[in-house]
Structure formats: structure tokens, C-alpha cells
Amino acid sequence: MPERTASMTAHSKAVEQIRDSYAAIPEDSAPRLAKATTNLFRFRAPVKTAALSARDLDQVIHVDPVTMTAEVQGMTTYENLVDATLPYGLMPYVVPQLKTITLGGAVTGLGIESTSFKDGLPHESVEELEILTGDGRIVVARPDNEHAELFHAFPNSYGTLGYALRIRIKLARVKPYVKLTHIRFSDADKCMLAMQEICESREHDGEKVDFVDGTFFGPGELYVTVGSFSDRAPYTSDYTGMRIYYQSIRSRVRDWLTVRDYLWRWDTDWFWCSRAFGVQQPLVRSLLPRRYLRSDVYRKLVGLDQRYGVTARIDRWRNNPVHESVIQDVEVPIERGAEFLEVFHDKVGMAPVWMCPLKATGQWALYPLEPGRLYVNFGFWGMVPLPRGQYDGYYNRLIERAVHSLDGHKSLYSTSFYEREEFWRLYNGDAYWPVKSAYDPGGRLLDLYDKCVRGR
């Protein structure tokens, strides 16, 4: 395969470049991967760092339609990978919902989508990882070789064990269209029970189900959305322009999308978060080019706001209450899902909330979900006014306590407030530290607690 050979030659050069870049970083500086985009939400002052160049590590190396696999560089976005695989009638088993999430980011920092009820998380379809480790080595980790311990500890390590340079993943077959059905509930317990039955049977109304997620608009308005692949469609909706996907959930029972538009249905409006920028107003939306209706554009605006404190200054000028950023994804066992929604609505009151069922297909050291147990990911993103006398972290600490009282887990891409001992108990420090010692004995990379909780 001449094309693959040329791509691997280019990849080898890029690997040498990043290894040399890593070796050139002073010992007293913490390496930070230089990325054009990020989906992390930890806005804290960093310690002295040095940018680690990842130039030329953002390409799809090869798609093999026979073995149904793809070899991909670690900084490749899912948008680019999907564009490379769909012409073959293939897609990754789990495609995280935002276009600029990278494969390396989804493996080391986790990801989720509406196929997760049957296919787990993105890292569970990974066959092989090429990793630049903390001690400067380039190793190839597989579940059955001498680096198997690193392979199983890499998910949820957030770049504290090393960086993914190349990833080989399995692909799934697709059809051109997805038929959607939005099922409304007025009771959270009944909604969770129905979602569980659909996920377990993988059927709805006698039809095979390929995708399941849901939306909570309030205690009396919840939806389970099921999707099924189809060879044909009577029509297709377009939510990349004036029409807004999440609003359609409330107004129609049945819908049809192309498979590509289905995969990116949430990206145009960053779920519902684009309303904070006014782009859901018809006049503003009609004047804004479509290329700016993307999650990465909104994320850059949030970063600028955090850097310069624009919203905080306006709130002070208007004498508005201080707001806390509540941006989290949590996993709760589905049988406790209604309890979580009750607590969240009562104590936080933010809506909508995304609901995405998932079932881990294997045991992964640093994110100890029980294999085979059905959980629901609740995703909520926004600002909440603080009660008088309370300080930043009030809501996020409350959510952490609620999640773990319900036998759940919290993703680490955003702010966390755990004490050190509790953190290592929840995220399996007993498994983490032997791997950290083996692949980063000098501690050049931050450890998981320092990076994800202390925000260094």
C-alpha cells in the first residue's frame, strides 16, 4: 500500500520531531502539549510550562475497509476521521459529540456518545497505542504485550503518563441515514426505566436501535431519543443553519438526518450553550456565516472571557450576583438516575441536561466503572448565580458529593475539588502509581491529582 507507506514515513518524521521537542524542554518546566483547540475547562493559573510541539501529528494515516480499522495520529480530530471513514461506509464505534475533540484526547481524557450504551467509551475500540512516555521513550502499547499495563491505565490519565502519537482503532459499518424518534416522559423514574429497557433490548417498537440518548428540560419534561440506521429517508433535516437541533426534540416526534449530520447534531450549537453568545437569535444567526456556528469557536470565546474577565466585569457593573461555572459530565448508575436529577434540579436548577447511557465493556484502571453495568452520563454546562454568602466551588462540590453518594463517577475535564486521599481512592491510585513510576520515574509530567484537581 504505497499511500500507507508514505503516510507512515511522514508519521515517523513527526514522531522524531516531537521526541526532540520533548528532550529540549528544560527539566524545571512542565511539558504542555501545544494544541490549536481544547475541550478542557480548567481555568487556573499554570506553573512554569513549556509548549511541546505536536506539529504534523494531526493526520489520518490509513483507513482499511477490509479489516475495518483506521490508523490515526493522536492530534487528529474526529471531524477529520469521520470525513475519512464515511466514504467507506464506516465510522468509529463511538464518535464524541464535538468536531474538534481529538482521538488522543478522547482516549486519555475519555469521551462518550449515543452508541456508548452498547460500545462503551472511545478507548474501548482501540487496538494499539503508540505513546511518548514521561521518560522520553516511544513505546507501542497493546492489551497483550509488555506494555499492557500502560495500555489499560492510559484512559483517564490526561497526559500524565504520556501522549498518544498514533492510535489504531476498530471501525463500525454505517448506513446513509439515521431515523430519530423522540419519546417524551413527564416522570424521571419512568424515563430511566424506559431508557434501561431500550438499552438492554436494543429495540424500540420492534425496531433495532443503534443510538440512544436523552434530554432533561425539567422534572415534567424529559425525552429519550432513539436512532436507527436506514438505507433510505423520506426527507432529511438540516441543523447547521437557522434550525436548532435541541429545540426540535420538543416539537417533533420523528426526524431524519444523514449519518454525518447526526454525528455532529450537537456541535452547531454546542448542545444549547450557543445561546449565551446570542447566536440563537434569528437576526444574529441569519447574519453569521455557518462556518462560525461551531463548538470550537464558542470555546475560544469562553477562553477569552475567562482571560479578560468580561462577563465578571459586566455583572459587577450591573450589580448582578456572582456566578459559578458549572461545567461537568458525571456518570450515575441508571437505577439512581432519577435521584440525581431530583437533587440536581432542586439544588442547582440548570436546564437542559444531556442524558447519555453507557456501559463499560471492559475493566479500565483509572475510571473504575463496573463492567456490564448501565450508567447514565449527565452533562450540564453553564453559569449559576451563587447564594448569598457562598463562594466559587459551592455547586461543584455539592455535585461531587451527590454523584459519589449515588455510586457514580465524575469526568476530570473540568474543575474538581477533591481532597488528595479521596481522589486517589476514587480514581484508583493503587493502579496509577506503579504505571507512573514505570513510565515517568522522574516525574517530568504532572501527576493526575496535580493536573486535574490542583490545576497546575
Strand bridging mode 323-333 / 409-410: antiparallel
In this structure, which amino acid lies at residue 439? Answer: Y
Mean pLDDT of the chain: 92
DSSP, residue by residue, 351-379:
--EEEEEEE-SS--TTS-PPTT-EEEEEE
Cell triple for residue 266? 450537537
- The domain 309-417 is placed in CATH, from the list 1.10.10.10, 3.30.70.2520, 1.20.910.10, 3.20.20.70, at 3.30.70.2520
DSSP, res 136: S
Mean pLDDT of 182-200: 98
Q: Residue 451: enclosing H or E segment and its boundaries?
A: helix 448-452
E strands in 76-120: 90-92
Cell triple for residue 442? 522522574
HSE, CB side, 13 Å, CA atoms: give it for residue 191.
30
> pLDDT: is 277 or 334 the higher one?
334
- Residue 49 clears pLDDT 80, i.e. is over it: no
Q: Residue 179: enclosing H or E segment and its boundaries?
A: strand 177-185
Cell triple for residue 429? 491510585
| Region 2-174: CATH code | 3.30.465.10
pLDDT band for position 33 (cuts 50, 70, 90): confident
Q: How far apart are CA 7 and CA 63, in angstroms?
A: 11
Give the pLDDT confidence score for residue 455 in this predicted structure: 75
In this structure, which amino acid lies at residue 58? Answer: D
Q: Where in the chain is the domain with CATH 3.30.465.10?
A: 2-174
Instruction: Please state, in angstroms and as integers, the Cα–Cα distance from residue 286 to each residue in 161, 210, 244, 249, 282, following that order.
Output: 46, 34, 13, 22, 6
Q: Residue 24: enclosing H or E segment and its boundaries?
A: helix 2-24
Give the pLDDT confidence score for residue 12 in this predicted structure: 92
Residue 268: count of CB within 10 angstroms of its CB = 23
Q: Where in the chain is the domain with CATH 3.30.70.2520?
A: 309-417
Give the pLDDT confidence score for residue 254 in this predicted structure: 97
Q: Residue 13: enclosing H or E segment and its boundaries?
A: helix 2-24
Q: How far apart are CA 238 and CA 441, in angstroms?
A: 51
Beta-carbon contacts of 14 under 8 Å, excluding residues fewer than 6 positions away, are 55, 56, 57, 73, 165
> pLDDT: is 456 or 397 the higher one?
397
Residue 382: count of CB within 10 angstroms of its CB = 17
CB 452 within 8 A of CB 416: yes
Per residue in 123-159, pLDDT (tens digit) is 999 999 999 999 999 999 999 999 999 999 999 999 9
CB 44 within 8 A of CB 303: no
- Residue 311 clears pLDDT 90, i.e. is over it: no
**CA dihedral for 432, 434, 437, 438, sign (positive or negative):** negative
Per residue in 394-429, pLDDT (tens digit) is 999 999 999 999 999 999 988 999 999 999 999 999
Give the pLDDT confidence score for residue 29 in this predicted structure: 78
CB 187 within 8 A of CB 86: no
- Residue 258 clears pLDDT 70, i.e. is over it: yes
